[in-house]
Amino acid sequence: MVLRFMAIPIALLMGLVGTAPVHNADLPREPETIIVKMVDKSPTEYVFEPAAITARPGDVIQFVQTGVMPHNVQFKEGPAGTTFGEIQMGPFLTQPNETYEVTIGDKFANGVHKFVCTPHEFMGMTGTLTVEGAAR
């Protein structure tokens, strides 16, 4: 009887020998939505929260208006190979919970992209988007 109980675990182990482990890095990655709030901290302080984000191709950056002052997103600079085109400056969001979405695609090269809220840049409303895994 002891042999029967021993034979089952050994057979199970033998079936597992030779199979390659599956790593998360080997699996296809689902795009993520990254939320960035546009926040009125005080009458003279406006910020993006978070101010530094990292994204990969396919991810969506959703900028959400949370304050009362109008805010927008303007991409000021990016690494060589970046072509912002029509997404360089987004619309002004004026109502709470209004959103502006940017999908990370072929316009974004790998590296750091700087963005600002145009009217509040001088008050510190700036941020960075680091793109990783782009084809370029």
Q: What positions carry a catalytic annotation?
A: 71, 117, 120, 125
What would the DSSP string read from start to end of 32-77? -EEEEEEEEEETTEEEEESSEEEE-TT-EEEEEE-SSS-B--EEEE
Other beta carbons within 10 angstroms of residue 95's beta carbon come to 8
Q: Find, among 69, 46, 51, the residue nearest to 123 by Cα.
A: 46
